[in-house]
Amino acid sequence: MLQQTQVKTVIPYFNKFTKKYKTLRALSKTNEEEILKMWEGLGYYRRARNLLKCSKKLVKDYNSKLPNTLEEIKKLPGIGEYTGNALLGLVYNKPTIALDGNVKRVFSRNLNKEEKKIDFEKLIYKNKNKLLNTNRNADFVEALMEFGALICKPKNPNCLICCLNRTCKYFKSSNKIRTKKKMIKNKNFDIFCYINKNKQIALTKKKQVSFLKNFNLPFIKEFHSSKNKNWKFLKNYKNSVSNLKLNINLYYKFSNKIPPSFSWYSLENNREFIPSFTKRILRQVSTLF
């Protein structure tokens, strides 16, 4: 849950999940629809799907126990190098460093060297006696991440109160490196909504754009075209999804005929999981009635 998401946002979801699924086995027995519904509003839904797959695999292949080597742990769905190292440190107190964006920035600033010019693995290996020489590895993994998030922040690092400022090259240098910015892409989309007099909208899981694969969505086309003659323009609005900033033109058409891969959904009473991206569209289309 914490990947790309702040702790304060995660807390209510975490509490809800742990209340509902008291054991790994209980979690593994649920289905994708239910997990997505529980995850609704948290975004990056691939994490929810992977969580379910991961719990099933742990129960089936690992006797409900998290493996304790990086090689094994990385075989689990959704667990890569970073999460694997974080888990080994936090769960098994193993000497590891979970290299997320925050931690890389701390190293890069201390050396006053751009991230892309640093071989982090080599750096850690070379300094392992200094970096990984503690019995409190779990605390160390956590502390490094928090340090990057709270003290050595992306913007305006708190150098004056930082315990590393006596040795930090960034702090001392008159020629400070630039901090890597998060890449945001701008994209334009036309969204076409078939609607009918029964206050329904046609949605499909097929032929969708990659950032929202396998979700119920209206028909989406990249690039704005001015030749959408058969469709009525409803609204232009902005929406952010992952690292994308979307500029959206919303169109609609009353029609009882819809392409075969589409199905009708009520604009008002949906019990199914619908991502917030689609919910926003539903809300805007509802204003037509």
Residues that bind ligand SF4 (CB under 6 A): 106, 109-110, 151-152, 157-159, 162, 164-165, 168, 170-171
Taking the least distance from each CB to ligand SF4, the nearer of 66 and 162 is: 162
**Least distance from ligand SF4 to the Cβ atom of residue 152, Å:** 3
Strands 185-196 and 244-254: parallel
**Least distance from ligand SF4 to the Cβ atom of residue 164, Å:** 4
Using a 10 angstrom Cβ sphere, with 0-12 exposed, 13-18 middle and 19 or more buried, the burial of residue 162 is: middle
CA dist 62 and 122 (Å) reads 32
Taking the least distance from each CB to ligand SF4, the nearer of 170 and 265 is: 170
Question: For 202, phi and psi rounded to 5 degrees?
Answer: -90, 125
Taking the least distance from each CB to ligand SF4, the nearer of 152 and 191 is: 152
**Least distance from ligand SF4 to the Cβ atom of residue 180, Å:** 14
**Least distance from ligand SF4 to the Cβ atom of residue 124, Å:** 17
**Least distance from ligand SF4 to the Cβ atom of residue 112, Å:** 9
- Of the candidates 186, 180, 280, 191, the one whose C-alpha atom is nearest the C-alpha of residue 242 is 186
Taking the least distance from each CB to ligand SF4, the nearer of 26 and 143 is: 143
**Least distance from ligand SF4 to the Cβ atom of residue 169, Å:** 8
Q: Is 251 in contact with 232 (CB distance < 8 Å)?
A: yes
Taking the least distance from each CB to ligand SF4, the nearer of 90 and 159 is: 159
Q: Distances from the Cα of 237 to the Cαs of 146, 189, 215, in angstroms? A: 35, 10, 20
Those residues whose C-beta lies under 8 Å from the C-beta of residue 221, and which sit 6 or more positions away, are 189, 190, 191, 192
Taking the least distance from each CB to ligand SF4, the nearer of 140 and 262 is: 140
Taking the least distance from each CB to ligand SF4, the nearer of 43 and 157 is: 157
Using a 10 angstrom Cβ sphere, with 0-12 exposed, 13-18 middle and 19 or more buried, the burial of residue 180 is: middle
CA dist 107 and 116 (Å) reads 12
CA dist 17 and 39 (Å) reads 9
**Least distance from ligand SF4 to the Cβ atom of residue 108, Å:** 9
